[in-house]
Every structure is written in structure tokens, then in C-alpha cells.
Structure 1
Amino acid sequence: MTKNLSRRPLTGQLVAHLVSVLGTSMSALAIPWLVLTSTGSATRTGLIAFAELAPYVAMQALGGPLVDRIGARRAYVLGNAAAAVAVCAIPGLYVIGLLPSGALAALVAVAGALRGVADCAGQVLVPGAAGLGAVPLERAAGLNGSANQTGLFVGAAAAGVMVSALGAPAVVLVDGITFALAAALVALLVPTAAQPQRSQRRLSTRQYAADLAEGARFIRTDRLLLVLVAMIAVTNLLDQGINAVLVPVWIREHLHQPRALGLIAGALGAGALIGALTAAWLGPKLPRRVVFTIGTLVAGAPLSLVLALTGTLPPALTAAFVAGLAVGGLNPILHAVLYERVPPQLRARTLGAIKASAWIGTPIGPLLAGGLIEATGLRTTLLTFAAIFLVATTAVLTLPAMRDMNRLRPQPDATRAAGNEAGSEPASPTLRTVAGTEHGETRAADG
């Protein structure tokens, strides 16, 4: 296998992820707009959004044992292909007048559940595809994050234009086509060797529960993963409160310009994309713990603090861009750590559970922000969020478990050759923690 051919699986997975996120980002605007213009009900719009999101999050957490039996590659292809059918049915039924709210809720719920399984499988394919091309994990994670940010950024912008020009049903149809295209790309470009070996155990109800418990137990017994899961849940809660409530209220009180909301979101998105691309380029050469510490401190408290201390747009845009840079640089490190520490046979159920855990606090963030604003005012709430961010992240960064972010070094007798055989587990040497070793001295372990 040539060097270029060996990297084709990772390229295929990344392009598939980009296409899928692009369509999802477009439908995130188009489906609510379709409901709102059809019914005029904000309540129904919210219910439809919930009907899609709840199954998606649930299947991220619960789909791991299913992915283990089906195989990550097949689960990704079948999940996205079936989701394409469900999503494409929405504009088809709408055009012929057979899309009541109940049918729409059922279709988006089915699509959300299928996408949850497919995305759970996609997380497993990234490190496997990287192993086939000898791509360092930070680079693969950074490129995957860049694909995600590009899809979100371009999809949101394209959706606004396309909904105006073509109508919401046409945009939903495009979303369905992107799922089908993502399935085709992985089917054609990502080999079976990019996935862990499929579990041969019979999937009874008892075994299903045991598999889920095994993934949860692995997280509980790995002190670094446990710390990171807790930190991500807290910071996502705070981020959601800032983005969904605090920034819009700040704009209303100080600028009275709705377009500023798009500018700040664009600055965050652009910074995150640049940060992810930079991490993909430089990540394998940088000390993880140092970069993670700086990024964590910069990504959280400063934006809230700047908003609390200023009432003009330029400082807010600068702070948002810098925060985006930090977030974009953090995610590749987080994912590289997860890929390294979670054994291939546990990745589907463990990574899915971790991703679902990251969403747990997001509904609470806006409620907390709104309640504090009502009780104390905007400025005090922004300072409170900044303080919570600073205390939470500083406390985590000082924990002894964070020393385990050092890269893992393969045992001397490990071999990568077996990983390139068709149908076998790619490049998955036995790993051990290099306690007390500086990150720069262990870069060779990432291949």
C-alpha cells in the first residue's frame, strides 16, 4: 500500500464527516423554519427540535454495543443511509400535503436516532483510519475538528441563502442527500481494517446492559477520563448559557444591533476553525499539558469578563475570536487523549457515553443564565460566569490526574504491521502511561 493510498481512509472519513455536518447545519435552520412558517407555533417548533435531539443524544450513549456487533464501518454507512431516507421523506410528504406535526416529529426522531448511531460509529473510525495512514492522533483529531467547524460555519451561512432562494423543504432535501453521500464516501473509501474487530458475543438484553456498564466502568476507573468528562460537562453548561442567553442580552442592552449576534458567532467559528487547523499542523510537536492548560484558561472566563467590562463590539469580537482559537486547539488534544486511552474494543460504547455526557448540562446553562440575570442583572451574571469558569478550570488543571495527559508510548515489542491487513485491527499497540515524562520526548508514540 502506497503512502498516499494508506491515507485515503482518513481522507474519506474526514470528507464524509464534513458533508454530513454541512447538511446537519443546514437542516438545523431549515426544519425549524419549515415548522414555524407552516404552523406559526414556537411551541411546536421547540417540540420538533426536541424530538430530533433527544434520540440523537440517547443513541450516542446507548448505541455502542450495537456498533460493536454491526461493525463501526457498517453502522456508519447503514445509519447515514437510513437517515437519508427519513430526512428526504420530509420534503416529499410536505409537497403532497401529508406531513402533520406528528409525522414530522416521528421522522426527525428516527433520523436523530440513526444519526446518533452513525456518529457514534464515526468516532471509532477516525483513530482506526489514522492508524492505517500512520497519522498522529492530534493531527487526525485536529483535521476532524476542522471538518466539523467548516461544516457548521459554511452550512449555517448556506442555509440562510438557500432557504430564502429555494425554500425550507428544498434545504431539508439537500440535508438528506448529504447523509447519503457521507454513507457512500465511507463505503467506498474506508476499509474494514479501520474499525476494531467486531464483537462476536450475542446481543441479549443482559449482555447489552453489561456492555454499557463496561464502558461506564472504564470511564470511572480512569481518573483522567473521569476528570475530563466532568470538566467538559461543566464548561459546556456555561458555554451554552453564554451563547444562548448572555450574548444576546448583552447585544440588546448595549448595541441594539441583531446583526452583532451573527458577527460574534462568526468570530467564534472562525477562531475555532483556525485553532483546529493549527492544532492539526502543530499538535504532534507541542506539549499537551501546557497547550491544554493555556487553552482551557483562555477559552472560558475571558469572553464573559470582556462582555462584563465593555459595551462595544470590537473588544467582544476580539475576545470571541481568541476564545474560538482556544477551543479549536483544545478539542484535538481531548480527542487524541480519548483515542489513546480507550481500548479499540471499547471505543464505541465509551466515546459515545463521553459525548452524551458532554450534553447533559446544556439545557441547564440557559436556565441558570436567565435566572441569574433576573436576580442580579447582566453584569453581575457575566462576572459570576467568568468566576465559575475560572474556578472550575483552575481546579481541574491542578489535579494530579492531569499529569496523565502525557502521550502514551507503545511497548517495544508492539508492531503496527498487523494493522494493515484487511479485516484486522489497525495499529493498536499495547500502551502504557509514561509518568513524569515530558510530552516532547514521547512524540514518536503517536504514529
Structure 2
Amino acid sequence: MRWRGLSGVLSSQACTLSANRLLTVAVPWLVLDRTGSAAQAGLVVACQVLPYAFTQWLAGPLLDRIGPRRISAAGDVTSAFVLLIPAVFGTPPLWLLTVMLVVVGCADGPASAAKRLLVPFAAADAGQSTARGVGLATAVERTATAAGTALAGWLVATLGGDRALWVAAAMLGVATLIVTLTVTDPVRDRGHDDETYLDRLRTGTTFLRGSPALRAVTAMFVVTNLLDQALMAVLLPIWARAGGHDATVVGLALSTVGLASIASALVSAGFGARLPRRATYLIGVLSSGPTRILVLALGLPPEAVIAVYALAGIGSGLFNPLLETLQVELIPAALRGRVQTLISAWAWAGIPIGGLFGAVLLNLGGMRTALWVCGLAYLVAVLRPAWRVDWSLPVAAEGVGSTYRTGLLTAAAPEPKEKGRLRMSVPRADFAAKVPAHRR
């Protein structure tokens, strides 16, 4: 029974992530079948993606006040009902499909953030460390990305785009049922009676602004996500075409990254808490970030590129759970909804302009220059947090599940930093003595 909550959260994540991957394939295909316009397909997809990060940030205070379980269920069931419109009224016109996806994006953002917040709580209830819970969640995400996309292609080819939306709705309905039956909300932050929604939103912003460690990690997310989008949307396809390669090489390289990251995320779940943090971070980010770009700049053959991308997948599965664990440890439990959703919103900020940035670099300096600029910028971005964050374990985080209890007891302001180092916050004894222990 101790694993019930964690199993429920992970199963629910698998369903919703698979549904989202299904939509990324089914919706553009549906629009292309209807209009034949790639521009309209991209516009409709953007209408789902753009509200996703913005509504996560807006939902932060509600996640802390109402609880992530309810918001997860409400978001998934809303998306499910919206996607069932074609089953009731037939194939929707393009304007209605666009509105549907706007609503799905608005509902899915808070629901995804809610499941992310539930992972450390459920891991603690299962007697597991935050690192193990986050590692398992990362493995689920990477598996859903690989398997969900393949399933989406098969469903669209066999059932058509309209019926594929029904399958996505069914997955979201199952996710709602799982969360409702298996997950318990953590203790919620009731706050002060006179604290308004905007006050709570400002509290999250103030905390992030006052934590140099979190600021360094957030800035790294902004830059690397922008460069990743430039690579995926522009540089990698152009590199393949310029070298006389077809889309098979690109697909194989990306699939290799996904499969390797699943394996390393499972390793992180099993042994991540024992690994030296700074070394793990450096190995992970250096192997998974700038190497994917610089290997293209060096003009190596496709076989070498695929091998480097396999190593990149291994690194990605190692350092992403570590960064998630770091955020859990640095942010008090009462503020996680507000602060983590704000970090996510910033992380998404560079994605919409990433493709444009890559295209501008190509036009200004050509392929090789664009790749070197992006690769070196990626290197600088990932190295900064390595020396701006104290990666040592918090004092109270040595036992299983103690990271969760630390978050409950930590004061809502960052600890003073030592000269040149940023310390992870730990509970004060006088504050901890006044707070009842949460259920094991």
C-alpha cells in the first residue's frame, strides 16, 4: 500500500503524456488533411502550446492552496471532455478545433504541473527518496515520448485523426480515475486569511528572485531550451539536407537519445541519491547538451553523430532528475506550486523564438558558424550553475523521504549565502519544533 500513491502518480503521468504525444501527431495531420496548409497546422498547434506554460504559472497559487490532486483531476477531465466533441458533433470546423486546443492547453498546463508536484510527496509516502521518485518520473516521461509518438502514428494511420482524438480523451479519462482513486493530497498551505491571489503570486516571484541558485538554474533552462529548439527545428534538419542525408538519420538520432535517456533515468532512480552531485551534473550536461551541436559542426559522419546522440541520451537521463531534486530541496513545500510553475514558465519562454534564432544565425553566418555559436553558448549556459550552486546534500536530507519533510519545515525565505557559495536551505530547529510531522 505504501507504493499506491507513487504508482498512481506515475501511471497517471504515463497516460497524460501519451495523450499529449498523440495530439502532437494527430492534430497537425488532421489540419493538413482538411486544409493542406502547413502554416495553418502550425498555428493550430501553437494555440495549444502557448497557453500551456502561461497557465501553469497562473495556477501556481491554486496548486499550493487547493492541492495538486484536485487540479490534476480537473485539468485532465476538462481536456477529455473537450476532445470528445468530434465524437458527439462530428468533425469540427477549423475554428472550433483551434478553440478546443486552446482549452486543452489551458487545462493541461496546471494538470501537468500538479502531477509534477505530487511526485516528491508520493515518493516520501512510499518510503523512497525524492531522487528515486523523480528518476522514475523521468523514465516514464521518456518512455511516453518514445512509445506515445509511435502509437500516435499507428492510430492516425489506421483510425484517422478524428478517432485518434477519442483515444487521447480516453487516456485522459483513465488518468483522472487513477489520480482520484490512488493519490492523496499533501498538506496544503492555507496562507493568511487576507492574502489575495496576487499576493500569493508575488510571493513565488519574490522567492525565486531571492534565491541565486534557483535563478542560475532558471537562466540555464531559458538558454538551453531556446538552443534546443533552434537545433531541433532548424539546424539538425538543415545539416541533414546539406550532407545529403534523409530524414531517417534525424529520426534515428532522436530515437537513440530517447531510448538511452530511459535507461539512464532508471539508473538515476536506483542509484542517483548515491552519486556525487556536481560530477553527475557536469557529466550529464556536457554529454547531453553542447556535444549534440558541436558534433554537427565538426562535420563527422552520421554514424559518429548517432553515437554521440546515444551518449547525450545517457547524460540527459542523469542530470534532469538531479535538477528536479534540487528544486524540491531548495523550495519550501508550501511554495512549490508557485515557484516551480514560475520556473517552468521561464523555461518555456525561449522556445517560441528558438527556431527564429536558428534561422537568423544561418542567414548571417552559414551552417558551421551557427552550429559553433549555439554549441559554445550552450556550453557557457550549462557551466554557470555548476559553480553557482552548492551541490552538497542538505543536513536533513540524509534519510529516506527526508527531503519532503525538509520542504515542509523550511522557512519561506532563502537562507543567507556564504561568500562565493550558495547553500541549500535546511529547517531551523525552532521552526521545526512547532510543526507537526506529516504522515509517513
Same fold (TM over 0.5): yes
TM-score for the superposition, normalised by structure 1: 0.88
- The aligned residue for residue 134 of structure 1 is 127
TM-aligned CA deviation for residue 391 of structure 1? 2.4
Is structure 2 residue 176 aligned with structure 1 residue 168?
no
- The aligned residue for residue 422 of structure 1 is none
TM-aligned CA deviation for residue 109 of structure 1? 0.8
TM-aligned CA deviation for residue 151 of structure 1? 0.6
CA contact (8 A) 1:279 1:329 kept: yes
CA contact (8 A) 2:284 2:316 kept: yes
1:196 to 182, 187, 191: 187
SS of the aligned residue for 2:128 comes to coil
- The aligned residue for residue 258 of structure 1 is 247
Counting only pairs closer than 5 Å after superposition, residues 33-432 of structure 1 correspond to structure 2 as 33-93=29-89, 96-97=90-91, 99-192=92-185, 195-199=186-190, 207-399=196-388, 402-403=389-390, 405-410=391-396, 428=407, 430=409
1:85-124 CA distance string (max 9 Å, x none): 012224543xx34x12221111111111111111121122
Q: Tell me, in whole angstroms, the C-alpha distance in 2 between the residues paired with 1:92 and 1:45.
A: 23
CA contact (8 A) 2:204 2:338 kept: yes
TM-aligned CA deviation for residue 416 of structure 1? 8.1
TM-aligned CA deviation for residue 172 of structure 1? 1.2
Q: Tell me, in whole angstroms, the C-alpha distance in 2 between the residues paired with 1:127 and 1:31.
A: 33
CA contact (8 A) 2:222 2:348 kept: yes
2:26 to 26, 30, 37: 30
Q: Which amino acid aligns with 2:301?
A: T
CA contact (8 A) 1:197 1:345 kept: yes
TM-aligned CA deviation for residue 199 of structure 1? 2.3
Percent of pairs with identical residues: 31
1:385-407 CA distance string (max 9 Å, x none): 111122232334233xx12x222
TM-aligned CA deviation for residue 415 of structure 1? 12
TM-aligned CA deviation for residue 344 of structure 1? 1.2
Q: Tell me, in whole angstroms, the C-alpha distance in 1 between the residues paired with 2:107 and 2:423.
A: 42
1:170-210 CA distance string (max 9 Å, x none): 11111111111111111111123xx23252656x9x81111
Q: Kindly tell me: are residues 426 and 196 of structure 1, through their superposed partners in 2, closer, same or farther at Cα, counting changes over 3 Å?
A: farther
- The aligned residue for residue 443 of structure 1 is none
Q: Tell me, in whole angstroms, the C-alpha distance in 1 between the residues paired with 2:296 and 2:35.
A: 37
Q: Kindly tell me: are residues 303 and 78 of structure 1, through their superposed partners in 2, closer, same or farther at Cα, counting changes over 3 Å?
A: same
Q: Tell me, in whole angstroms, the C-alpha distance in 2 between the residues paired with 1:299 and 1:190.
A: 34
Q: Which amino acid aligns with 2:350?
A: G
CA contact (8 A) 1:415 1:427 kept: no
- The aligned residue for residue 427 of structure 2 is none
- The aligned residue for residue 444 of structure 1 is none
SS of the aligned residue for 1:138 comes to helix
- The aligned residue for residue 434 of structure 2 is none
Structure 1 segments (4+ residues) deviating >4 Å: 414-417, 425-429, 431-439
TM-aligned CA deviation for residue 429 of structure 1? 5.4
CA contact (8 A) 1:72 1:124 kept: yes
Q: Which amino acid aligns with 2:97?
A: L
SS of the aligned residue for 1:234 comes to helix
CA contact (8 A) 2:332 2:408 kept: no
Count of residue pairs brought into register by the alignment? 419
Q: Tell me, in whole angstroms, the C-alpha distance in 1 between the residues paired with 2:36 and 2:86.
A: 18
Q: Kindly tell me: are residues 111 and 330 of structure 1, through their superposed partners in 2, closer, same or farther at Cα, counting changes over 3 Å?
A: same
Q: Tell me, in whole angstroms, the C-alpha distance in 2 between the residues paired with 1:262 and 1:216.
A: 39
Q: Tell me, in whole angstroms, the C-alpha distance in 2 between the residues paired with 1:190 and 1:299.
A: 34
Q: Tell me, in whole angstroms, the C-alpha distance in 2 between the residues paired with 1:255 and 1:27.
A: 31
Q: Tell me, in whole angstroms, the C-alpha distance in 2 between the residues paired with 1:90 and 1:215.
A: 39
Q: Tell me, in whole angstroms, the C-alpha distance in 2 between the residues paired with 1:72 and 1:365.
A: 31
Q: Tell me, in whole angstroms, the C-alpha distance in 1 between the residues paired with 2:184 and 2:378.
A: 42
Q: Kindly tell me: are residues 220 and 92 of structure 1, through their superposed partners in 2, closer, same or farther at Cα, counting changes over 3 Å?
A: same
Q: Tell me, in whole angstroms, the C-alpha distance in 1 between the residues paired with 2:292 and 2:237.
A: 14
| Structure 2: unaligned runs, 5 residues or longer | 425-439
TM-aligned CA deviation for residue 230 of structure 1? 0.5
Q: Which amino acid aligns with 1:227?
A: A
1:238-280 CA distance string (max 9 Å, x none): 1111111111111111133122221111011112212211111
| Structure 1: unaligned runs, 5 residues or longer | 420-424, 440-446
Q: Tell me, in whole angstroms, the C-alpha distance in 1 between the residues paired with 2:275 and 2:118.
A: 25
TM-aligned CA deviation for residue 310 of structure 1? 2.5
CA contact (8 A) 2:130 2:325 kept: yes
